Amino acid sequence: MLSCTEATRLMSDSRERPLLFKEKVALTFHTSMCKACRNFGRQVGVISKLSKHYVSRTDKPEDEDSK
């Protein structure tokens, strides 16, 4: 069984390259049992979407950031 370190690496890699069949199988097996890594997988996608918004966002940030 993959460790979480390996599983998160594969999830990160999957955004860079197609995973091999055996990697997909191992990853699916891991995430079927590991909620933390399932969350990680979703978050990697969310971060990518947020990055696109960051680049093109139009609203001004609030300046009262220093609390």
Partner 1 sequence: MDTEMIDKSAQLLLDESYLAELRRQMVKFAHLQLADQGLAEDAVHEALIGALKNSSSFAGASAFKTWVFAILKNKIADVLRKNQRLPEVSESSEGEGEFDHLFNSKGFWYRNERPASWGDPLKAIEDGRFWVVFEACLEDLSPRQARVFMMREFIDLETDEICKTLDLSVSNLHVLLHRARLRLRECLEKKWFVGGAE
DSSP annotation of 2: -
Site string for partner 1, 7-46 (x = CB under 8 A): -xx--xx-xxx-----------------xxx-xx-xxx-x
* Minimum gap (Å) between residue 36 Cβ and partner 1: 4
- Return the ∠ at Cα 13 (arms to 12 and 18), rounded to 5°: 135
Q: Does 49 bind partner 1 (CB under 8 A)?
A: yes
CA dihedral 16, 19, 20, 26 (to 10 degrees): 140
Q: State the residues that interact with partner 1 by CB under 8 A.
A: 3-6, 8-9, 12-13, 15-17, 35-37, 39-40, 42-44, 46-62, 65
